[in-house]
Chains A and B, each alone.
Chain A
Amino acid sequence: MGEGALELLAERIRDYRAQVRLVRAEEIPNAVAKALRARNARRIVVPPGFPAEWLASGECEWLSDEGPLTPAELDRVDGVITSCVVAIAETGTLVLDGGTGQGRRALTLIPDYHLCVVPVGRVVRTVAEAMPLLDPIRPLTWISGPSATSDIELDRVEGVHGPRTLEVIVVG
Chain B
Amino acid sequence: MSGHTYLGMPAFPERSAAAVQDAQLRHNLRHATRTIRGKRAAVIDELPDWPGAREAAKEIKDRTLRHLDRYLVQLEEAVTAAGGTVHWAADAAEANRIVVGLVEATGERSVVKVKSMATQEIGLNEALESAGITAYETDLAELIVQLGEDTPSHILVPAIHRNRAEIREIFQRAMADWGRPAPGDLTDDPRALAEAARLHLRERFMSTRVAVSGANFMVAETGTLVVLESEGNGRMCLTLPETLISVVGIEKTIPTWEDLSVFLELLPRSSTGERMNPYTTTWTGVTPGDGPQTFHLVLLDNGRTDVLADQVGRQALRCIRCSACLNVCPVYQRTGGHAYGSVYPGPIGAILTPQLRGMQSELDASLPYASTLCGACYEVCPVAIDIPEVLVHLRARAVQESGHRAERLAMRAARWVLERPVRLTRAQNAAGRFRRLIPKRLPGPLGGWTDTRDLPPVPRESFRAWWRRTEKGDS
Which A positions have Cβ atoms within 8 angstroms of B?
12, 15-16, 68, 71-72, 75, 88, 90-93, 98, 104-106, 109, 127-128, 130-132, 134, 136-157, 159-163
Contact = CB atoms under 8 A, between A and B. Distances in A.
Given A136-B224, A153-B28, A161-B205, A143 B167 contact: no
Nearest to A143: B279
A153 B32 contact: yes
21 contacts: A68-B289, A75-B202, A104-B291, A109-B232, A109-B239, A131-B257, A131-B260, A136-B284, A139-B284, A147-B231, A147-B278, A149-B231, A150-B36, A151-B231, A152-B193, A153-B163, A159-B194, A159-B198, A160-B231, A161-B201, A162-B231
Which of A128, A134, A151, A156 counts the most B-chain CB atoms under 10 A from its CB?
A151
Interface string B260-281: 1110110000001011111111
B137 to A, nearest CB: 12
B232 A71 contact: no
Contacts of B82: 137
A150 B202 CA distance: 19
A75 B207 CA distance: 13
Given A128-B261, A147-B231, A161 B206 contact: no
Contacts of B423: none
B275 A98 contact: no
B8 interface: no
Nearest to A152: B190
A159 B196 CA distance: 11
A12 to B, nearest CB: 7
Contact of B280 (A16, A98, A141): A141
B219 interface: yes
B253 interface: no
Interface string B210-251: 000000000100101000001111011001100000000000
Nearest to A90: B275
Contacts of B139: 151
Contact of B31 (A15, A153, A159): A153
A162 B231 CA distance: 6
Contacts of A143: 278-279
Contact of A144 (B160, B206, B261, B276): B276
B230 A160 contact: yes
A143 B235 CA distance: 11
B35 interface: yes
Contacts of A162: 231-232, 235, 278-279
Nearest to B289: A104
Contact of B278 (A105, A137, A145): A145
B222 A150 contact: no
Given A104-B290, A105-B235, A150-B230, A144 B157 contact: no
Interface string B32-69: 11011000000000000000000000000000000000
Contacts of B198: 159-161
B279 A132 contact: no
A156 B28 CA distance: 16
Nearest to B197: A160
B282 interface: yes
A151 B159 contact: yes
Nearest to A134: B257
Contacts of B272: 150, 154, 156
Given A105-B290, A148-B230, A141 B281 contact: yes
B200 to A, nearest CB: 10
A26 to B, nearest CB: 31
A157 to B, nearest CB: 4
B283 interface: yes
Contacts of A68: 289
A136 B194 contact: no
A152 B161 CA distance: 10
A94 to B, nearest CB: 10
The 8 A-B pairs at the shortest CB distance, nearest first, are namely: A162-B232, A161-B232, A160-B231, A142-B280, A91-B276, A144-B276, A151-B141, A104-B290
Given A75-B206, A92-B275, A157-B194, A141 B235 contact: yes
Contact of A71 (B160, B206, B224, B265): B206
B36 A136 contact: no
Contacts of A127: 261, 264-265
B159 to A, nearest CB: 6
Contact of B35 (A90, A98, A131, A153): A153
